[in-house]
């Protein structure tokens, strides 16, 4: 029942987008988000949408896969749209109504903005393995090490957390089955009794998570792990021509969006 979590899932592939250096992709996602927030009018939104669809086509991610990622957010998207419809001043659709034409337009743009935001960031996680992603992040944040920010430790924790999500989900499933076999009931009863029913799942889950963490620490230490100092990598990251090309395209896109904003489009 918990197996259909797509958040942060990686779909291996061999497209230009997959081959880009994770650092490039991280920077591009930030550029993309800034550019998205420059969109002020319909033309601006249209431009971002076209670019997003283009990237999706390049990475060969199916629209249905993307939709599955957006689905959990549908409620928030709908709520945002609803609020915007009712709280935007302007010309009423009919005299005396609260709903204005501007409100409808704004609601639509807001919906588009959230969907594009999710799509853009999912493009990153769908095409980059979690390991590559955290490696890229570490390299990007490298300058912060001068300020004694534990960048390596932070990214190491991140990759471990990502690594153990599926394991913990499988574990939860197993414990739930075991407690159900002992007659535990998770589906009926009042809210309080249902919350109490979670205890037989949470306690064993925490116990095993701590045990696992302990074992992992021992396993890492016995393989001489001692933090980021002087650590080399098996997979070196290389900025290729396509990375520079992608960054230039990203910069042009952002510049274009800023110009569009100035023009009020």
By CB under 8 A, residue 223 contacts other proteins: no
| CB of 211 vs other proteins, minimal distance in Å | 9
- By CB under 8 A, is residue 182 in contact with other proteins? yes
| Binding of residue 221 to other proteins (CB under 8 A) | no
Other residues' Cβ atoms within 10 Å of the Cβ of residue 67: 12
Minimum distance from CB of 192 to other proteins (Å)?
17
Look-up: residue for tokens 């889950």? 205
Q: Which residues make beta-bridge pairs with 92?
A: 100
User: Which residue among 6, 129, 172, 208 contacts other proteins (CB under 8 A)?
Assistant: 208
Minimum distance of other proteins from residue 203's CB (angstroms): 4
The distance of closest approach from Cβ of residue 14 to other proteins in the complex, given in angstroms and rounded to an integer, is 18
Only segment of 101-109, 139-147, 158-166, 177-185 that touches other proteins (CB under 8 A): 177-185
The DSSP code sequence of 63-75 is HHHHHHHHGGGHH
Cβ neighbours of residue 191 closer than 8 Å, sequence gap 6 or more:
none
12 binds other proteins (CB under 8 A): no
Q: Which of 2, 79, 203, 248 binds other proteins (CB under 8 A)?
A: 203
Q: Is 184 in the site for other proteins (CB under 8 A)?
A: yes
For residue 235, the minimal CB distance to other proteins (Å) is 28
Give DSSP secondary structure letters for 24-63. Answer: HHHHHHHHHHHHHTT--SHHHHHHHHHHHHHHHHHHT--H
> Which SS3 state, helix, strand or coil, does residue 115 take?
helix
- Residues between 111 and 130 that touch other proteins (CB under 8 A): none
* Cβ atoms of 55 and 32 closer than 8 Å: no
Partners of 100 in beta bridges = 92
Interface positions with other proteins (CB under 8 A): 3, 171, 174-175, 177-185, 199-200, 202-204, 207-208
């Amino acid at each position: 029942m918990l197996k259909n979590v797509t958040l942060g899932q990686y779909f291996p592939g061999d497209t230009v987008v997959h081959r880009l250096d994770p650092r490039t992709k991280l920077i591009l996602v930030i550029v993309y988000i800034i550019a998205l927030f420059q969109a002020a009018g319909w033309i601006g939104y249209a431009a971002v949408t076209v670019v997003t669809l283009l990237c999706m086509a390049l990475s060969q991610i199916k629209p249905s896969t993307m939709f599955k990622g957006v689905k959990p957010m549908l409620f928030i998207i709908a709520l945002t749209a609803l609020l915007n419809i009712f709280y935007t001043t302007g010309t009423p659709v009919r005299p005396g109504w609260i709903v204005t034409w501007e409100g409808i337009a704004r609601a639509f743009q807001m919906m588009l903005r959230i969907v594009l935001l999710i799509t853009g960031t999912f493009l990153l996680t769908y095409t980059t393995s979690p390991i590559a992603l955290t490696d890229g992040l570490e390299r990007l944040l490298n300058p912060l090490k001068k300020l004694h920010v534990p960048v390596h430790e932070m990214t190491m924790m991140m990759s471990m957390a990502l690594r153990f999500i599926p394991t913990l989900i499988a574990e939860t499933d197993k414990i739930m089955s075991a407690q159900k076999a002992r007659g535990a009931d998770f589906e009926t009863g009042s809210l309080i009794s249902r919350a109490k029913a979670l205890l037989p799942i949470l306690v064993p889950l925490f116990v095993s998570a701590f045990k696992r963490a302990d074992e992992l620490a021992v396993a890492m230490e016995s393989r001489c792990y001692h933090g980021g100092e002087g650590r080399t990598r098996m997979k070196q990251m290389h900025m290729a021509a396509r990375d520079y090309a992608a960054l230039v395209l990203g910069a042009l896109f952002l510049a274009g969006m800023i110009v569009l904003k100035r023009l009020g489009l």
